[in-house]
Chains A and B, each alone.
Chain A
Amino acid sequence: MMEKSRRRFLKIAGISALGLGAKPVLDVFASSEEDVVVEAPVQEGAPHVTETEAHHAATEPRIMRSPNAKVAPQWAMVIDTRKIQSHSDVEPMIEACHKIHNVPHMPDKKHEIKWIWETEFKHAFPNLASEYMAKRVEHLGLPVLCNHCENPPCVRVCPTKATFKNSQGIVMMDYHRCIGCRFCMAACPYGARSFNFFDPKPHIEEENKKFPTRMRGVVEKCNFCAERLAVGQKPACVEASNGIMAFGNLHDPNSEVREIIHSNYTIRRKQNLGTRPAVYYII
């Protein structure tokens, strides 16, 4: 009876909220993106912590970041498609991501779950594709993923704040809160989100026991490898990309990604929509 009560409560609350008139409610949910205050705030430069007993006086329990965590106000990615020769250049990125994140291979294409996938220029950039265009680009498979938009429509429509923009600019999913209403899927102009119509577990080939799976009835997508950044690693797809992808702090003018963006002509997907994607492409 009490099973799944939190999701159920949110479901009912979400539906009731809609009844109050969608517009003001959605506006309320869209504002106040302030991070939740932690009970025991951590001072910057907190002591180095090890698994072994430290010889410090007893203190109040507190919560902190790992000392080697990578931090940025807005993470961004640049994909240099000039370096892509064929499908076998993109495949390893997809493999790496889907393997470590327990993304299932659904047998039916209609129920496909994907965090990063390959698509042609005309689908990735429909407003830029022409009838006649460079042969190399025309049928090239480009890697596409969630753009972690700076102005994300998916966040604005989510009635439970299961989708939110975190302090690092990552558009995160809190699967504990997702009620599966799929508003976010309708709002995302990039198809970056997938819905679990079925229990994904039986379709995960080799489970990575260090990372959670999802359950039936929630939406999922790329998390910019938040769990890897937290321990100082780069995203898995970037590591597997053989230099095709670059990753860094968009707001730091000296970062690797900014340097690439400054010295190359880059485009973003459907930027006329005003979502301000944080994934840049060099064609």
Chain B
Amino acid sequence: MPNKGQKLYDKDKVIAGLVIFVILATFPFWFNLGKAASAPELELTEKAKAAEKCVRDTQYMRDEHMQLLDEWRDTVVRDAKRIYVNERNVGYDMSLSNTCLDCHSNKAEFCDRCHDYTSVNPYCWDCHIDNPKEAK
């Protein structure tokens, strides 16, 4: 049946309901308004500072260390090749524990800060020890 010109019953209730719905649905947005967490500051260990250069340049490491680690993992485990030679012709042992975390031995101030900020939870540390240097 066409509804033309018919009046909206319980107009007040309907509109009030809609307003409440919109407020609830957008609650997370305005609740968090203006209090976005600031980008994390990373700390470098003395060793990392002294090394000056990482396996690849900083921007690449920032953007793509996960792809790099994924490639390392597969090549080490499945292809039995363990040396990565970068564009500067420097070779590295493709090992999270023994290479990456050897310099970046401060997981809490380095890895975790960004991972927490971006809310990613990689499970590398379930098996790969976070700091080989802490061995007694």
List A residues at the B interface (Cβ < 8 Å): 2-4, 35-36, 38-39, 42, 46-47, 49-54, 56-66, 69, 164, 166-168, 170, 172, 174-176, 207, 209-210, 212-215, 226, 230-231
Which B residues lie within 8 Å of A69 (CB)?
80, 82
**Residues 94-121 (chain B) with a chain A CB within 8 angstroms:** 94, 97-98, 120-121
Out of A2, A58, A166, name the residue touching B121 (CB < 8 Å).
Answer: A2
Is A4's CB under 8 angstroms from B79's CB? no
Instruction: Give the docked Cα–Cα distance between A184 and B84 (Å).
Output: 32
Known: A38-B75, A54-B90. A212 touches B83 (CB 8 A): no
Say yes or no for B128: interface residue by CB 8 A criterion: yes
Out of B80, B97, B134, name the residue touching A210 (CB < 8 Å).
Answer: B97
Is B85's CB under 8 angstroms from A174's CB? no
* B129 → chain A closest CB, angstroms: 5
Instruction: Give the docked Cα–Cα distance between A212 and B88 (Å).
Output: 29
Is B89's CB under 8 angstroms from A56's CB? yes
Which B residues lie within 8 Å of A65 (CB)?
80-83
Instruction: Kindly name the residue among A39, A61, A167, A226 whose own CB sees the greatest number of chain B CB atoms within 10 A.
Output: A61
Digitize B6-31: 1 where CB-to-A-CB distance is under 8 Å, 0 elsewhere.
00000000000000000000000000
Known: A3-B121, A63-B75. A212 touches B128 (CB 8 A): yes
Is A35's CB under 8 angstroms from B78's CB? yes
Known: A38-B75, A166-B78, A213-B127. A63 touches B88 (CB 8 A): no
Which B residues lie within 8 Å of A62 (CB)?
84-85
Q: Which size class do B's interface residues fall under?
A: 35 or more
Known: A50-B91, A64-B85. A4 touches B123 (CB 8 A): yes
Is B89's CB under 8 angstroms from A47's CB? yes
Is B80's CB under 8 angstroms from A214's CB? no
Which A residues lie within 8 Å of B75 (CB)?
36, 38, 63
Is A36's CB under 8 angstroms from B74's CB? yes
Out of B77, B89, B123, name the residue touching A174 (CB < 8 Å).
Answer: B77
Is B85's CB under 8 angstroms from A63's CB? yes
Q: List, sorted by A's number, 9 A–B pairs whose CB atoms are closer than 8 Å.
A: A36-B79, A46-B85, A49-B85, A56-B89, A58-B88, A61-B56, A63-B81, A69-B80, A212-B97
* B75 → chain A closest CB, angstroms: 5
In the complex, the 5 A-B pairs of residues with the closest C-beta atoms, listed nearest first: A49-B91, A209-B132, A56-B89, A212-B127, A54-B89
Is A215's CB under 8 angstroms from B74's CB? no
Which A residues lie within 8 Å of B79 (CB)?
35-36, 38, 63, 166-167
Which residue on B lies nearest to A60, using beta carbons? Answer: B87
Is A175's CB under 8 angstroms from B98's CB? no
Is B126's CB under 8 angstroms from A215's CB? yes
Known: A2-B120, A49-B89. A63 touches B132 (CB 8 A): no
Which residue on A lies nearest to B60, using beta carbons? Answer: A61
Is B121's CB under 8 angstroms from A209's CB? no
Which residue on A lies nearest to B101, using beta carbons? Answer: A209
Say yes or no for B135: interface residue by CB 8 A criterion: yes
Which A residues lie within 8 Å of B88 (CB)?
53-54, 58
Instruction: Give the docked Cα–Cα distance between A215 and B124 (Å).
Output: 11
Instruction: Give the docked Cα–Cα distance between A170 and B71 (Å).
Output: 21
Which B residues lie within 8 Å of A46 (CB)?
85
